[in-house]
Chains A and B, each alone.
Chain A
Amino acid sequence: MSTLEIRGLEVSVITEKGPIEILRGVDLTIASGETHAIMGPNGSGKSTLAYSIAGHPKYTITGGSVTLDGVDVLAMKVDERAKAGLFLAMQYPVEIPGVSVSNFLRTAATALRGEAPKLRTWVGEVKEAMNALAMDPSFSERNVNEGFSGGEKKRHEIMQLELLKPKIAILDETDSGLDVDALRIVSEGVNRAKAANDMGVLLITHYTRILRYIKPDFVHVFANGRVVEEGGPELADKLEEKGYAEYVGN
């Protein structure tokens, strides 16, 4: 049982014109087995929240705290956060030329498990994860994210989720750019990983359609860098109907 606690989180980005405040005091608690949807209009700071928790160097934490089971996440290096059990499925996964998917996955698994996985069982694990996400076996010989379609990038992110078995996963607009079939396949992958590892999920999305496949326990509306309304799944239905108009400009 793990708990990710975000308290009063304030984040800025440093620009040539000085710092710009993006998150203005975010409070959230995500426990194992729970799925939290964060919904909000573009530019509300949803992705900044995701990247700040993962430790992207572009963002400067100016206040508040993030802890995982009481341990200060913000003091950890990026790789240490992953080792502690956090995972960020990125909206725009980065191309790594010359590094094959299989080499990348094995290096990551070795880092996270503390020892190289046994080759025989590892090959099986990867094969199973790829099958489950309807990915061609040749995929593992390609370079990480290089020339991947939008759908392939997202499948690759979710494949990592299944293989690397984090405690808490943050999914940043995993639904964007997916057609209906890919959305279903990717969502099933998230649900499998959640069921297998009692994973906590922080699902960041602009649209409600992914919530048909990944059922949230809690919905948080995000606007202007903070959570402005919270509720159960019914809140998503309200957003579907009325949009974000009432939250914008507050």
Chain B
Amino acid sequence: MSLLATNFLTPTGREEAWRFTPLNRLAGLHDGSVEVAQRESLVMKSPATQGVSFTRVSRELLAPESFSDDVIIQRAHAEVLNVAHLSVAAGCEITTPIHLGRDHHGPAGNELSRVRISVGARSHATVVMENSGEAVLGEDVEIVLEPGSSLKFVSLQEWSAKSVHAARHHAIVGKDATFQSVTVTVGGSLVRLLPTVEFAGPGASAELLGIYFATAGQHFEHRIHVDHGVPNAKSRVNYKGALAGNEAHTVWIGDVYIRAAAEGTDTYELNRNLLLSDGARADSVPNLEIETGEIIGAGHASTTGRFDDEQLFYLMSRGIAMDEARRLVVRGFFAEIIGNIKDEEIQERLMSRIDDELLKAGH
């Protein structure tokens, strides 16, 4: 039991932010009952590169850059002693993706973690963060993009079946900086991610892409929040999910907040869900709050549907059997997002994982 647990208000499940989440499956991350060792499992898997450093920094030297009202993130801020810090120096063009990874084994993998990714001014990099194995992980990843920089941030949740993962991926995007995230959630018992963005200077842009595939009993939740607080920033959100099997549950929340100061904002968010069987449930809630009319555009769309019979008929009429036709359609559905991960090995691994999920679902 954490000594600090009483400092936080434990969610009851009635709060807007928690109403979709099965609290009893969070392994105690939300109420402080989880036993957390001071583990630091995140490692850099790429070879050392000029301009890139990966260090552990005492929390006194690297305080959080942002506030979160999420109790798990607050716990991480309060309890984690050392922050894993990936730093890209200013003015660097890092052409090879930087791989970070956690590979947990067994129940000893309970962990609260803080991660900081800093991208110096005018630098360009790709970071791939891979999560696999079995763990209970509460995690805050803060990503700071200095002016004129760009970062592609790929996060892969390929957890094994019992894992519980609650995390925030919070990007602070500076003037004229460009952030792109590709978030993939295909494994775990309960995964609850908060991909959030705040713009720190005009001309900033963010593109949040994601896919998820939940099968029987899995709960995958993605709560996007984009805060437009500066003029002339642009955001795009596109998440696609598939669900199959009893009690497969996905939640997608897309909150976009356009403050009075955010004139010239251009934002669009999209969520599409493919229901592959009965007994699965996709919640999809886009929200747009606008405090100024002086914007370029703001829109959202959300669809949830089943296989398109016409697509399956077309493929089958060319001799392709039903299972194979479904596989093609589902792969195609995700291809638009997976294509943004410019790593063929990861792409192929994810596609075959998707094939496996389909097989599990009995297609």
A residues with a Cβ closer than 8 A to B are 54-57, 77-79, 81-83, 87-88, 90, 93-99, 103-104, 107-108, 111-112, 143-144, 160, 164
Q: Nearest Cβ in chain A — how far from B77, in angstroms? A: 40
B residues with a Cβ closer than 8 A to A are 308-311, 313-322, 324-325, 328-329, 331-336
- For B325, the chain A residues whose CB sits under 8 A away are 79
Q: Determine whether the beta carbon of B332 is less than 8 Å from that of A108.
A: no
Q: Determine whether the beta carbon of B328 is less than 8 Å from that of A111.
A: no
Q: Contact check: which of B313, B319, B321, B328 meets A99 at CB < 8 Å? A: B328
Q: Nearest Cβ in chain B — how far from A172, in angstroms? A: 11
Q: Determine whether the beta carbon of B329 is less than 8 Å from that of A99.
A: yes
Q: Determine whether the beta carbon of A94 is less than 8 Å from that of B313.
A: yes
Task: Knowing A57-B309, A94-B311, A97-B336 are in contact, say whether A82-B316 is a contact too (CB < 8 A).
Answer: yes
Q: Nearest Cβ in chain B — how far from A246, in angstroms? A: 35
- For A95, the chain B residues whose CB sits under 8 A away are 311
In the bound assembly, the distance between CA atoms of A94 and B310 in angstroms comes to 7
Q: Contact check: which of A56, A98, A164 meets B318 at CB < 8 Å? A: A164
Count A-B contacts at CB 8 Å.
84
In the bound assembly, the distance between CA atoms of A225 and B46 in angstroms comes to 68
Q: Which residue of A lies closest to B335 (CB)?
A: A98
The B contact surface, by secondary structure, is helix
Task: Knowing A78-B313, A96-B311, A111-B324 are in contact, say whether A160-B336 is a contact too (CB < 8 A).
Answer: no
Task: Knowing A96-B314, A107-B328 are in contact, say whether A79-B334 is a contact too (CB < 8 A).
Answer: no
14 new A-B contacts at CB < 8 Å, known A99-B331, A103-B328: A56-B313, A77-B321, A78-B316, A82-B318, A87-B317, A94-B311, A94-B313, A96-B314, A98-B334, A107-B315, A107-B324, A108-B318, A112-B319, A164-B318
Task: Knowing A104-B328, A107-B328 are in contact, say whether A164-B334 is a contact too (CB < 8 A).
Answer: no
- For B316, the chain A residues whose CB sits under 8 A away are 55, 77-79, 82
Q: Nearest Cβ in chain B — how far from A196, in angstroms? A: 18
In the bound assembly, the distance between CA atoms of A19 and B58 in angstroms comes to 74
Q: Determine whether the beta carbon of A77 is less than 8 Å from that of B328.
A: no
Q: Which residue of B lies closest to A82 (CB)?
A: B319
- For A77, the chain B residues whose CB sits under 8 A away are 316, 321-322
Q: Determine whether the beta carbon of A82 is less than 8 Å from that of B317.
A: yes
- Can you list 19 A-B pairs, Cβ within 8 angstroms, ordered by A? A55-B313, A57-B309, A57-B313, A79-B316, A79-B320, A79-B321, A79-B325, A82-B316, A83-B319, A90-B317, A94-B308, A94-B313, A94-B314, A96-B311, A97-B336, A99-B328, A99-B335, A108-B320, A111-B318
